[in-house]
Amino acid sequence: MAKPASINPRIIEGLYCEALVLSDDVRAAFALSGRMDAAGEADEARVALSCEALRTTTRMMHSVAWLLNHRAYFAGELSEFQLRRYGKLADFPESDPARMALLDGETRALIQTTERFHARLKRIDNGWRERDPAQASAIAALRERLGPRLSS
């Protein structure tokens, strides 16, 4: 099996550009100024649109934040410790199939695209964390050094 590519600035920049375009598409799709009327009179359709809009925009905001943290790391603005500690990508539940059924096909496709994008970032994040495990904490290292002395 081939070794997965490590995270590098080129990969992050490409994903960042893709995230910005996708975020703009999400913003345009869920601009609710006229969408509630277009959703019809059914309250269920309005609730579905609102819920999925919130879930999708939050998913994209977290994706962009994760990418910005990695850009800051490569620019020397964050240490690896800070990135590992604060740069973890959150898990998000997938969209509710019953609500998705109430949305138009174009909106459903966009939501599914954001889910796939987030899943890609999650795989990259998990692979990076597994491949390059964090150093032992300072307390663990100190205990290891003092171990023989503490038992005496």
| Assigned token pair, 5 | 């590519």
Report the C-alpha gap between 140 and 129 in whole angstroms.
Answer: 19
pTM: 0.78
> What is the three-class DSSP state of 103?
coil
Is the model's pLDDT at 38 over the cut of 60?
no
| Higher-confidence position of 41 and 101 | 101
pLDDT at 45: 84
CB 75 within 8 A of CB 12: no
Architecture of domain 9-151 in this structure: Orthogonal Bundle (1.10)
Per the prediction, the chain carries an average pLDDT of 84
Report the C-alpha gap between 16 and 9 in whole angstroms.
Answer: 10
Residue-wise burial string across 24-59, b where 16 or more C-beta atoms lie within 10 A, e elsewhere: eebeebbeeeeeeeebeeeeebbebbbebbebbbeb
**What is the rounded average pLDDT of the residues 33-59?**
77
pLDDT at 148: 66
Is the model's pLDDT at 10 over the cut of 60?
yes
Is the model's pLDDT at 94 over the cut of 70?
yes
* Range of weakest confidence among 46-50, 61-65, 120-124, 138-142: 138-142
pLDDT at 127: 87
DSSP string covering 42-58: -HHHHHHHHHHHHHHHH
pLDDT at 152: 55
Q: Which amino acid is at 128?
A: W
- In the chain, where the domains are located: 9-151
Report the C-alpha gap between 76 and 60 in whole angstroms.
Answer: 24
> What is the three-class DSSP state of 141?
helix
Smallest Cα–Cα separation from 56: which of 106, 17, 95, 15?
Answer: 95
| Assigned token pair, 9 | 């600035």
**What is the rounded average pLDDT of the residues 85-93?**
85
Q: How many CB atoms lie within 10 A of CB 111?
A: 23
| Higher-confidence position of 45 and 108 | 108
